[in-house]
A and B are shown apart, each in its own frame.
Chain A
């Protein structure tokens, strides 16, 4: 039999090989999910003699087409570990094709959350109703930040030696990445200087989702929130997630928590035990800048591939626009932090 090259046919063959009744397996729907800039994702419905089930297939795009280079094997190990704990609201990871032999490129298959993204729910609500999302959202991210079995995480999840060393290493990343880039980006050196001059009160290091944003929170039919997209998860300062949320929201309105930030932060403190000195609008602004290095630097590096003629992928090229959007958020949050603290702009 000829090897299937069509993604839908590949997926059907994949599920057949994992079914007790292969002859009954049929992929009844295969829909590409748009909006993801790092992984190729498809929503798949599978029907067999046991019933109908939905999955998401999350796979690596062709080389040079992603704005982030992360490892599916590491992601699979983490998903399995976190889901196995039963403490994190997330869809169940089901299967992993580590080589891409079956699905065309390394891919993870997870349960489909029947419902909608928080982004689409928020866009349906009236502005006055957005506040109702604050409490479940605070609980959801607090479940990640209070996860205490750090020693039980997969081996690639290193635990930094101290908060100070960790923050220093994050600041240094801005400097190193700027020096290695195809062209100078003075803003990155400014950010490094600013971050160093304005270090906040330390907080206990913990699990950080790494891409906590409105598009990565799914709302099930029962109203429960689920977190997806764990490829940037690491052990770090939990406030990074709040900061990244803030930055990502600017390009994906409406801002679910920004309308009443103080309320959200109070709910978050209540659920995590962090203090007001550690979590407040000024630290929210600080970590908006600090936490963006993962994505900002990855995008910078992939854009360098365009400059060197190594890729023409539109998702990557388009990110030159996103960089400017991010830079504007940095400037706004540096100004806000300065106004709130009287610190160094």
Chain B
């Protein structure tokens, strides 16, 4: 037994190991075909939007033409679209010294309490804790009282993957497609972490799907609307 340990060598000192300045890029995952994934919370999100005559929607994901048609034509939404992950990735590449949270704070020019709905998709799976904190704060700021926020949170350990693009097929299903650069998902968040992150919102509905994805619909209660 002792011989086996001696064969493995001395215990490594983590402090002695040099920390790379830039995180190495993960290996490109294989391209996967589009998949139709079920959703349970989208229907509730949509019905929350329907309560407003011409709602304002903030989409943190990449632009998807069919989503623009769906929310724009069917609900008369005014949509703000900005691929937050692609912006973050670009910033990381251009600024290897860090500063992503400060940059993300500038990505929300919307006025306070001006948005009826937020489509987060799986954005928070790819953000580190400080960045997630900043984005969550901004989302809680821009959301109106009784506004809704729809997000996915992975319950699986970090894995190298691509960013996801979700296209609404109908209120019960989404078309999932990979895009963008390879990136490692951050450590998964527990339920309490998610609730703490969106402390000024109330969990309206939460579903754990067979795909190990937790879908959560948050609402902003009127009594928590004032900043």
A binds B: no
Binding site for B on A (CB under 8 A): none
